[in-house]
């Protein structure tokens, strides 16, 4: 399926499809994220900030909102959210890192709120992954030519 996680109707449809086919959902793995080099707060465009939060945080909330009633009725489930070490590191990705830090607190709340329903919620805090967004951002931030990585 193709879905926009920042759109609640798409999230509801995304949940309803496997429930219609399989009758349940045991695992939600939220692996969505966008970001850009916006390393100066004075220069951040509000629309760019909102877009990152709509996808990275609102998307996690919306899909969770629609999965939780099914998992609660089953008395079982596992939710994982992919975050980033950027949430606690000094990277010039202000909206991205802030949205991922907020995702940690959202996941903490989900875990607390849903423990009585036997639903676990965890955050996977990953380092840089070889994706076009990450690698391009790395080279812009460090000034290194593509195809090379600077040793830390």
Q: Which of 47, 28, 133, 146 is nearest to 91 (CA)?
A: 133
For residue 127, count CB atoms less than 10 angstroms from its CB and return exposed for 0-12, middle for 13-18, buried for 19 or more: exposed
Active site residues: 96
Q: What are phi and psi of 86, to 5 degrees?
A: -60, -25
Say whether 84 sits in a helix, a strand or coil: strand
Name the β-bridge partners of 83. 125
Distance CA 144, CA 99 (A): 27
Distance CA 17, CA 28 (A): 13
């Amino acid at each position: 399926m193709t879905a926009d996680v920042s759109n609640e109707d798409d999230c509801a449809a995304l949940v309803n499809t496997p429930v219609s086919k399989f009758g349940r959902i045991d695992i939600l793995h939220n692996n969505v994220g966008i970001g850009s080099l916006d390393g100066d707060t004075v220069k951040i465009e509000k629309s760019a900030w909102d877009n990152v939060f709509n996808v990275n945080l609102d998307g996690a909330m919306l899909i969770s909102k629609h999965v939780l009633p099914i998992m609660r009725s089953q008395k079982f489930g596992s939710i994982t959210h992919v975050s980033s070490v950027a949430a606690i590191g000094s990277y010039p990705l202000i909206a991205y890192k802030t949205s991922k830090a907020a995702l940690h607190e959202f996941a903490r709340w989900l875990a607390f709120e849903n423990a009585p329903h036997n639903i676990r919620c965890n955050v996977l805090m990953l380092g840089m992954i070889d994706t076009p967004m990450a690698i391009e951002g790395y080279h812009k931030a460090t000034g290194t030519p593509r195809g090379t990585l600077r040793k830390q």
